A and B are shown apart, each in its own frame.
Chain A
Amino acid sequence: MVEGSRWRRWVSFYIPLTAFMVVLLFPFYWMIITSVRPDKELYRPWNAKNYNPFWTWNPTLEHIRMLLEETMFMTWLWNTMLIALASTIISLICGVFAGYALSRLRFRFAGMLGTGIFITYLVPQTLLFIPLADIIRDFHIGDTPWSLILTYPTFLIPFSTWLMMGYFKAIPKELEECARIDGATRWQAMIWIILPVAIPGILSAGIFAFTLSWNEFIYALVFLSSSEQKTVPVGIVSELVRGDVFFWGSLMAGALLGSIPVAVVYSFFVEHYVAGVTGSVKG
């Protein structure tokens, strides 16, 4: 609870918190209101009588119906879920082991290797998709979920490794050393002592990786071509932008429904996630 006089509480806590909440939640509010506003209101002249862009008295489910019935949204949602989950799991496994090795094992160039891995994360996807397209062709996995499940780790593994490196460094070495003194091998110490302590870090790396995979656009655009293989970000843009007309209601409905799984994942793991991001380990 914030202490101090009433005005101090308002100035230092409630007003900034309210402003923060408004900024943070306004896009979601806008998505909700746009997805239920009839087109007639969405395109109403701004100087028309009773013009109100922030509310509607005539909500409609037409945009959501169009999204669900006239596009393959549910298929895209399933594809996105499958691809995001698979690539997250692969990346987490690699990232955890690589992060552990780079932070705990003493070998030459470990520091440089860590920095190098991070730098690979900084190479823009808009450049990487071109050579990756070659690889996708050679492996004959174009237009299949594998083309994304195997390419997303190219940016997820460096990211997870870097994040886990930092987290492992925050875990006191003494924990592991005690286990070693008690007879545990390095592997056992890692599996039974370090990883349970690192769960918040693993979860936050997983949530970030899942979100990055969920939202990824350029690889999904280039490597998938059939409508039934597409992911949500590519599918809704391909189907709901026709020429120079955007189907705003359905686009917003797609963005809203598409963000629900990510919101659910966050809400389940929010406590661990916060602990992971802040690196709070009780030694």
Chain B
Amino acid sequence: MSRIARRRLMQAAGLSAAGGLTGILASGQAPAYAQSTTVHWLKWNDFVPAADELLRKKLIPEAEKQLGIKITLETINANDLQARTTAGIQSKSGPDLIMAFNSNAQLYADSLADVSELCEAIGPAQGGYYQIAQGNSNDGKRWISVPYCIIGAEVAYRKSWFKQAGWDQFPKTWDEYRAAGKKLKAAGHPLGQTLGHTFGDAPTFAYPMMWSFGGKEVEADGKTVAVNSKETIESVKFMTAFWKDAFDEGGLAWDDTSNNRAMLSGTISATLNGASIYIETLRKPDTYRTEDDKPMKEDILHGRLPAGPGGQYAFHSAQSTMVMGYSKNQKAAIDFLRWFHTEGNYRQWFEIQKGFSCGPAAMWEKDKMWDIDPVMEPYRDAAKYGRVPGFAGRANQKAAEALTKYIIVDMYAKAVQGMPAEDSVKWAEGELKKIYAA
């Protein structure tokens, strides 16, 4: 067997490495595999796994074929999207498309590509974007992200327990809901709600509670902090009493998953959520059972957050897609979004969601998917009734900052932990003033 001398091996390795490198440098081009345009899309790990499967196995390959680009889909936990977005913007490298929750796109408005042309084509063609979608994705001057979908927030409740408490239908007002909750808690079935720092269920409850009593974050000018009002204080006082009367008081420490688990395990009788609780019971009817061993799916209905003296409101989690300003593939990224939001392509994704995600525009209310399951009916046009943080002004960077700092949520959380309502509202006013004055 011939032996290779160490020196000869080193020479060969050096020559081949140097030759390869010299070749690449001389050609002035990246190797062929790196030449085609690749769009890196970062989004949350969808609650509906079939939807991500559809993207990976069908829609993305089709888009790649038709657009002549390569698309890399990366999915992560929703809570981690902001860290990735910040790092991408700071280092001017990273995914070309990133999903934003709620009005987070406003936080990064200066670092995002203008997608006005695309949004102005999609919205009107699909019956017009909802106010929520527009509020989150438009900064008043231009469209900064492309509305993706809206995750309706409705109260999932146990039909049989509410009936036992004397409610054949879901309560229409906060007072009725409190009366029902008091009876249910006494019977060992409290209501469940988080007031923790969690992006979904906490703000989607706290903001509508404030609005429904007539409270508001700022005046219509979007600058003057107006939270410290008689109406807001009334809402905080109501919530404090409501919490003690009706809620599972461990909810202060809950995250977005805790109420799902509490509801699915029969610990609570109602909770504000997306449709994920009900859809999970549909997926695994043998797993989720009532205390008398019947499928829980047959005992869950949905209702809107009740009305207060100031009206009935909702804050639905909205998702949009940001085209990053640092991206060198903006055109390809926008082309892909245009392709994805084409009616026929988006419908495939929308229908597989089975109502967990509503379309961002009015046309999707009429989709035949909504006729399949009457339990999902309240989600059909839920997005119509939504407001965005920053009311009575429009959603902007300041409102988005206040949202990500959980100031309105903390205002309620502090009060239910014992701070007088006036003081907690005053605290929130001080925090909001710091943001809006900056």
Q: A: which residues have CB within 8 A of B?
A: 38-40, 42-48, 129-131, 133-134, 136-137, 142, 218, 221-222, 225-227, 234, 237-239, 241-246, 248
Contact = CB atoms under 8 A, between A and B. Distances in A.
B265 A39 contact: no
B261 A43 contact: yes
Interface string B84-97: 10111011111100
A129 B47 CA distance: 28
A184 to B, nearest CB: 32
B91 A244 contact: no
A221 B265 contact: no
B284 interface: yes
Contacts, number: 111
Given A137-B91, A221-B76, A45 B267 contact: yes
A217 to B, nearest CB: 9
9 contacts: A45-B289, A130-B91, A133-B87, A221-B84, A225-B42, A237-B77, A239-B45, A244-B276, A245-B260
Contact of B257 (A43, A136, A137, A244): A244
Closest 9 CB pairs of A and B: A243-B47, A45-B266, A133-B91, A137-B93, A133-B87, A244-B256, A39-B287, A137-B91, A222-B87
Given A46-B267, A225-B40, A245-B280, A130 B74 contact: no
A241 B45 contact: yes
Q: Chain A binding site: helix, strand, loop or mixed by DSSP?
A: helix
Given A225-B74, A243-B45, A245-B280, A45 B291 contact: yes
Interface in B42-71: 42, 44-49
B90 A134 contact: yes
Contacts of A46: 265-267
B150 to A, nearest CB: 14
B133 to A, nearest CB: 19
Contact of A130 (B86, B261, B267, B273): B86
Contacts of A221: 76, 80, 83-84
Given A48-B266, A244-B47, A238 B291 contact: no
Contacts of A222: 83-84, 87
Contacts of B77: 237-238, 241
B30 to A, nearest CB: 11
Contacts of A243: 44-48, 78, 274, 276, 356
A245 B83 contact: no
A47 to B, nearest CB: 6
Contacts of B160: none
Nearest to B263: A43
Given A242-B45, A246-B261, A133 B188 contact: no
A174 B221 CA distance: 76
B91 A245 contact: no
Contact of B74 (A39, A47, A129, A226): A226
Given A45-B265, A221-B84, 11 more contacts: A43-B261, A44-B266, A46-B265, A130-B87, A136-B91, A222-B84, A225-B94, A241-B257, A244-B47, A244-B200, A244-B276
A44 to B, nearest CB: 6
A38 B77 CA distance: 24
Interface string B271-306: 001101000100010111111000000000000000
B264 interface: yes
A243 to B, nearest CB: 3
A48 B291 CA distance: 5
Contacts of A218: 83
Contacts of B44: 243
A244 B49 contact: no
Given A133-B90, A225-B74, A40 B286 contact: yes
A207 B287 CA distance: 41
A40 B88 CA distance: 41
A238 B52 CA distance: 13
A235 B77 CA distance: 10
B75 A238 contact: yes
B428 to A, nearest CB: 25
Interface of B: 40, 42, 44-49, 72, 74-78, 80, 83-84, 86-88, 90-95, 188, 200-201, 256-257, 260-261, 264-267, 273-274, 276, 280, 284, 286-291, 356
A246 B260 CA distance: 9
A277 to B, nearest CB: 33
A238 B75 CA distance: 7
Nearest to A53: B265
A132 to B, nearest CB: 9
B84 A246 contact: no
A88 B131 CA distance: 52
B260 to A, nearest CB: 5
B267 to A, nearest CB: 6
Contact of B265 (A43, A129, A137): A43
A50 B181 CA distance: 27
A128 to B, nearest CB: 11
A46 B289 CA distance: 12
A245 B78 CA distance: 11
B91 A40 contact: no
Nearest to A131: B90
A243 B280 CA distance: 12
Contacts of B40: 225
Nearest to A243: B47
A190 B69 CA distance: 58
B47 A43 contact: no
Nearest to A41: B287
A43 B288 contact: yes
A221 to B, nearest CB: 5
Nearest to A241: B77
Nearest to A224: B74
Given A48-B266, A244-B47, A142 B93 contact: yes
Given A39-B284, A44-B265, A238-B75, A245 B257 contact: yes
Give the one of B76, B264, B274, B288 with max A CB within 10 A.
B76
A14 B95 CA distance: 56
A136 B92 CA distance: 11
Nearest to A136: B91
A47 B265 CA distance: 9
Nearest to A138: B91
Give the one of B74, B75, B86, B290 with max A CB within 10 A.
B74
